Every structure is written in structure tokens, then in C-alpha cells.
Amino acid sequence: MHTGEYLEQLVVSLRVRDVPADRIREIIDELEGHLAEAGEDPREAFGEPAALADSYVQAHPVPRARTLRGTTQAAIAAGAFLAPVLLGAGIDALVSGEPVAIGLGHVLGVAVVLAAFVPAFRLLWAFLDGRGSRWSVVAVFVGGAVGGLVMALWLTGPVLVEVPGWGVLTAAVAAVATVAGLVRSDPLPPPGASATSPPPASG
Amino acid sequence: MGSPRPWVSAMLDVLVLGVLRSGAMHGYAISRQLADAGFGQVKGGTLYPLLARLEQDELVTHRWQQGDSGPPRKSYELTAAGRSHLATAAAQWEAHAPRVSRLLEVDVHAGMGQEG
């Protein structure tokens, strides 16, 4: 494995473990310096990227407040999935002048999507970490989404509530706001940025 | 004869602090010093997370040094707490090592006596 490829995988493995971006940059800059001087094969020197990321997290634990729990990940995905559906239904209701009838099938469909997205995210994280198969990720995501949609569209059941178009549009905006609020932007600083950051307080 | 690997692993944090007693140095230089001192090749996958832990425990601190060529290097040095930790470890070792030596010597002779 080339140095660049190895370090890219290490970045992903550290990301998956919610290590802050400035800390990741520091780790990558340091290991790059080591490899430049030692001329070693990165896998030979540091072992598997996932195992190295585990060692770093063990040595320097990530604050619990930073870690994205499975439910948060599922909420992000569910919000991203529901927003366009709600937007379409809301616009359709406003144009036709008819309220959106929410039935048992819709509720069960959303439940199926949420239930599928929690394990799907676990599989996705494991895949990004260099473990597992991409097809299992695709299968659970697509299976959950399609299963939920089919259930919502085809399962007949009693109408539970009728919501006016503006109400559905408000829910769509709330879903977008939820996703925007939960997704954290933490871009990786450019290479060498660690050298220009202020030194830590000395003990 | 180099030191047995399990013994090096068990004492690696103190050995790294001991290497840093001579001054600030980066990770690769620390691993070379350890190898030169007979402790074998300490892999980067072991050394760098250990340095991160020592830093987390405030026993070492770091500064970045921009070289003439190549990427900047992260250089570690002992903190006051690190020096104090090292002094305690040195005193403990001084008391511990003779006890081990005595015990091993007795065992070795006892074993030889039984065989003979």
C-alpha cells in the first residue's frame, strides 16, 4: 500500500471514530514526517489503519459529546430521506387544494426506514473503516428505503390524520433543519497546518 | 543480546521518557535511540499512540519544527511532571532490579542443584 493511500485510509478510520479534524491533521503530519525519514512501508511501520486509529483513540479518548451515536446517524439519514418526500407531498397538496391523508402505511413505512438505517449506518461505518462489504451496505440502505416506500404506497389502512399542504411543507423544512443541525462540518486542515498551530500549554 | 520484547513493552513508557531526558526529539529519533540502546525496533504503530498517551497525561509536550526540506517534524520533550515521573520510576527500578536479580540467581542455582 502506498503512503498516500495508507494515510487516506487512516484519515477515514479516524473520522469514523469521531476524532477532531485538527487532531487528525496532526497525526497525519507526524506520520508523514516519520515515513519521509525512515523510508518504511506504512503498513509495516504502523500496522492496519483501523488498528492504529483504535490505538490513537485509546491513548487520547474522543470526548463523548463529539461522538455521533447510531440514533443520531439514523436521524440524519431519516431526515434526508423524509425531506424530499414531504416536500413533494406538500407541494402536491397545495397545488391540488387537497390535504395529505396520512395513513397507517405511511407510519409503518417511516418505521421500516428508520429500523433499516440504524444497522445500515453501522455497516457503512465498518465498510469505511476497511471492514465488511459495500454490497451489504447498499443492500440494507436500498432495502430499507424501498421497503419503506412500498409499505407507504401500497399498504392500505385507515387514514390516521389529514394534514394541510402548508403543514407538510413545514415538516419538510423541519426535517431539513434537523439534518443541517445534526451534520457537523469539521474540514481537515491543509497539510503542514499543525506546524503553524499554537503549541499546547506545557505541564 | 537485546532485551526481551515483553519486557520492553511493559516498560516502554518509562524507556521513552528516559530517552527524552537527553533532550527534545521526534518519534523516529526516539525509536532509533531505543534500538541503539538494545531495546529492539519499536514500531511506529506502538510508539506514536504511546507518545499521544504520554502527552495526554502531561508527561511530555511537543513543538513542531520546520525542517529545511520535507514535512515539519513533531518534537517531544519532557514536562516537569514527566521528569518527576521518571525520577520516581528510576527509584522504583533501583529497588526492584536487585530483588529480581537475587531471586533469579537463587532459582537458577536451585534448579541446577536439583538437576545435578
pLDDT tens for B43-70 read 999 999 999 999 999 999 999 987 777 7
State whether the Cα torsion B102-B107-B113-B116 is positive or negative.
Answer: negative
ipTM of the complex: 0.84
Taking CB atoms within 8 Å and a gap of at least 24, the contacts of A137-145 are A140/A116, A141/A116, A141/A117, A143/A116, A144/A112, A144/A113, A144/A115, A144/A116, A144/A117, A144/A120, A145/A81, A145/A113, A145/A116
pLDDT at B1 exceeding the cut of 90: no
Give the Cα separation of B116 and B113 in Å (integer): 5
Contact between A179 and A80 (Cβ < 8 Å): yes
A chain contacts of residue B24, beta-carbon cutoff 8 Å: none
Half-sphere exposure (CA, 13 Å, Cβ side) for A31?
32
Q: Does B61 touch chain A (CB under 8 A)?
A: yes
Mean pLDDT of chain A: 84
For an interface test with B, the pick among A1, A27, A37, A196 (most B C-beta atoms closer than 10 Å) comes out as: A37
Contact between A144 and A74 (Cβ < 8 Å): no
pLDDT confidence bin for A8, thresholds 50/70/90: very high
Contact B79 A202 (CB under 8 A): yes
For an interface test with A, the pick among B26, B48, B60 (most A C-beta atoms closer than 10 Å) comes out as: B48
B80-96 pLDDT per residue, tens: 999 999 999 999 999 99
B chain contacts of residue A52, beta-carbon cutoff 8 Å: 45, 49
Whole-model pTM over 0.90: no
